[in-house]
């Protein structure tokens, strides 16, 4: 074989829906809800992550969600939390 690129011969296109009872108890109930969450995260990343972070316990709340000075990013500036506590 003289081809230098490896191409996958396997392509999986099947979709396995979860049982209805399982989906009803899930935090994200369906693909449409998942897609809407992803779109909001892309459209409004700071507001999205601030909302998610607000669900956690913070020993010291953050003053800024994002401080971006290329190439460095700091999230939840000034905040103190402990994920094991949460």
Tell me how far apart the alpha carbons of residues 73 and 56 are, in angstroms, rounded to a whole number: 21
So what's the pLDDT on residue 22?
Answer: 94
So what's the pLDDT on residue 4?
Answer: 73
Tell me how far apart the alpha carbons of residues 80 and 53 are, in angstroms, rounded to a whole number: 11
Q: How confident is the model at residue 75 (pLDDT cuts 50, 70, 90)?
A: very high
Give the pTM.
Answer: 0.72
Q: How confident is the model at residue 8 (pLDDT cuts 50, 70, 90)?
A: confident
Q: What is the DSSP string of the chain?
A: ----S-----------PPPHHHHHHSSS-SHHHHHHHHHHHHH-HHHHHHHHHTTS--SB--SEEEEEETTEEEEEET-B--TTT-
Is the pLDDT at 2 greater than 70? The verdict is: no
Mean of the pLDDT values across residues 67-85? 96
Q: How far is the first Cα of the chain from the last one, in angstroms, to the nearest whole number?
A: 54
Q: Mean pLDDT lowest for which of 6-10, 36-40, 78-82?
A: 6-10
8 Å CB contact between 59 and 81 = yes
Is the pLDDT at 82 greater than 90? The verdict is: yes
């Amino acid at each position: 074989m003289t081809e230098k690129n490896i191409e996958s011969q396997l392509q999986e296109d099947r979709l396995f829906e979860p049982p209805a009872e399982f989906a009803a108890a899930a935090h994200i109930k369906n693909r449409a809800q998942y897609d809407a969450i992803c779109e909001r995260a892309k459209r409004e990343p700071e507001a999205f992550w601030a909302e998610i972070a607000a669900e956690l316990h913070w020993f010291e709340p953050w003053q800024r969600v994002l401080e971006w000075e290329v190439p460095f990013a700091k999230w939840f500036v000034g905040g103190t939390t402990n994920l094991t506590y949460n």
